[in-house]
Structure 1
Amino acid sequence: MIVSEFSCGGVILDGRKVLLVQVKNMKGKKIWTFPKGHIEAGETPRQAALREVLEETGYKAVIVRPMIRVKYAFTFQGNYVKKMVQWYLMKKLGRIGKHDASEILSIRWVSLLKARELVQYPSDIRLVDMLLATMNIEPTESPETETTEE
């Protein structure tokens, strides 16, 4: 069976640091990525992205602008899943809660250069590369310090 999914997510900046979430992928491997999730009934894509960021990280954010919409496909439980994700660039407003420990193992603020080392999904790498280019950060620059929040 072919299943279509649409999700929205946020790339949250605080100066030159970006917020990553650590999750387990479908194979059980721990990976670093950006927060995202499905749209709930009655939500716009922007509302869904902001809600997912808040639920998964505990951070309230504001959307700066849309980034890219990525499409990919995978097989899950015998279904062929065609997925589309709308990404938004966001700016941190403040922390108002804790991250969702039921789906998020940990969260971490890191430099964009460190994020480039940590993320593995092709679309995440593309998002980081877009920001690096926008901020004129060269890969040879030394990474800034990072902060882990458990």
Structure 2
Amino acid sequence: MAPRGGEYTVTYKEDVVRAAGCVLWRRSPVDGGLEICLVHRPKYDDWSHPKGKLKRSEEPLAGALREVEEETGFRCAPGASLPTVRYLAQGRPKEVTYWAAEATTGHFTPNREVDRIIWLPPVAARNRLTQLRDRQLVDALLSTLNLA
């Protein structure tokens, strides 16, 4: 029943844009320190963690691994789940499920979605991220790796 004198909107779970990604990390080939991979998306001119929308009936972890490889060229070994991030994107609710993931093999080639990647120590990665909501994921990764 609608409230008196007004209408209401019902939001169904199907209305949520579902996406998944990873906080991709590695040990520096120079000094062995922790490095986090960030992607630059020219469409938005931003720096973020690799992520993307899930395909119909795709499991979130499978989608996260697919998106990491598509955007960075790296395969990875998934680890612990990280916090799910929820926000509005173009007026629609979006839910991004994240995992910690260690880069294993691969090589970056610029593509339509991502023109650059950068590997940075955690503090520099946190500062480079465009969205504040992405910065909490760096802290969650460090906690998961017992480095916080």
Q: TM-score, normalization: structure 2?
A: 0.78
Question: 2:38 aligned with 1:24, yes or no?
Answer: no
Identify unmatched segments of 5+ residues in structure 2. 1-8, 28-33
CA contact 1:55–1:100 (8 Å) conserved in 2: no
Question: 2:52 aligned with 1:37, yes or no?
Answer: yes
Q: Which has the higher strand share?
A: 1
Moved over 6 A (4+): none
Matches within 5 A, 1:68-87: 68-74=83-89, 76=90, 80-87=91-98
Instruction: Specify the alignment match of 2:17 in structure 1.
Output: 5
Structure index of larger Rg: 2
CA contact 1:32–1:119 (8 Å) conserved in 2: yes
2:97 maps to a residue whose letter is Q
Instruction: Specify the alignment match of 2:141 in structure 1.
Output: 131
Instruction: Specify the alignment match of 1:115 in structure 2.
Output: 125
CA 1:21–1:84 in 2, change beyond 3 Å: closer, same or farther?
A: same
Identify unmatched segments of 5+ residues in structure 1. 137-150
2-structure distance, mates of 1:91, 1:49: 13
Question: 2:76 aligned with 1:61, yes or no?
Answer: yes
Q: Calculate the aligned-residue CA RMSD, in Å.
A: 2.0
In the TM superposition, what whole-angstrom CA distance separates every residue of 1:13-47 from its partner, at most 9, and x where no partner exists?
1021011101135xx4x211101011113421100
